[in-house]
Amino acid sequence: MGGPRRVANDPLRKQRILDATLTVIAEQGVHRTTHRRIADQAGVPLGSLTYHFESLGAILEQAFELLAASMSERYHTALTGAPDRLAACDAVTDLICGDEYATNQELTIIHEMYAYANHNPAVADACRRWMGRSRDSLAVHFTPRACRAIDALIEGWPMHQAWEREPLDRALVRATVLAIAEQVR
């Protein structure tokens, strides 16, 4: 017989660390993200990071995977909730033009994720899985070729917008999405 079973004092600590990692990445960039900054942001002892994760790279990989999963879920909900292709075009327009897809902080993290993925195979795989889930959600209403084009719009237009700092022309976005949906087979 063993001794009394130990119960974690803080069962949500690992999640808090991952959430804190995303905040630090948004504020500092991946290149300035450290164990200490993450621990301070999460409000946990520094040793908690090495207890839950084998390295800083592992923390970053899991945090980016968490972001991708969260973004995919929003994307999936918006698209599968559309009853037909026209409503799906409206949902895509909302994803591109509104805060439903990504906040400014999330867009910053996505930029960091893509840059980090160039040098980290695990994060590159997470990006590919994210693209696959996105296209699966689009496939409910659009052809495979249209899914690819629309997915690129959903990713790219908000990124361009982050640099342009001007309001998107919602009518132009909708017309573009509709044109792809109608013409790309």
Q: Which tokens sit at 93?
A: 């327009």
Report residue 158 as tokens: 């908000």
pLDDT of 8: 56
Q: For 82-92, what is each residue's pLDDT tens digit? A: 999 999 999 99
Exposure class string for 129-138: b at 16+ Cβ within 10 A, else e: ebbebbbebb
- Inform me whether the pLDDT recorded for 6 exceeds 50: no
Task: For tokens 């599968």, name the residue.
Answer: 80
Compute how many other C-beta atoms are within 10 angstroms of the C-beta atom of residue 127.
Answer: 19
Backbone angles phi, psi at 139, to 5 degrees: -65, -15
d(CA 134, CA 77): 11
CA 174 to CA 185: how far, in whole Å?
18
Domains and CATH numbers, the chain: 13-183 (1.10.357.10)
Least confident piece of the model among 64-68, 97-101, 158-162: 97-101
55: nearest Cα among 35, 40, 30, 33: 35
The residues, ordered by sequence, that sit 6+ positions from 50 with a Cβ below 8 Å of its Cβ are 35
For residue 185, is pLDDT > 60?
Answer: yes
CA dihedral 70, 99, 163, 40 (to 10 degrees): -50
- Pair of tokens at residue 76: 């999936």
Q: Could you report the per-residue pLDDT of 29-70, keeping only the tens digit for each?
A: 999 999 999 999 999 999 999 999 999 999 999 999 999 999
Cα 170 to the center of its chain, rounded Å: 22
Whether 100 shows a pLDDT value over 80: the answer reads no
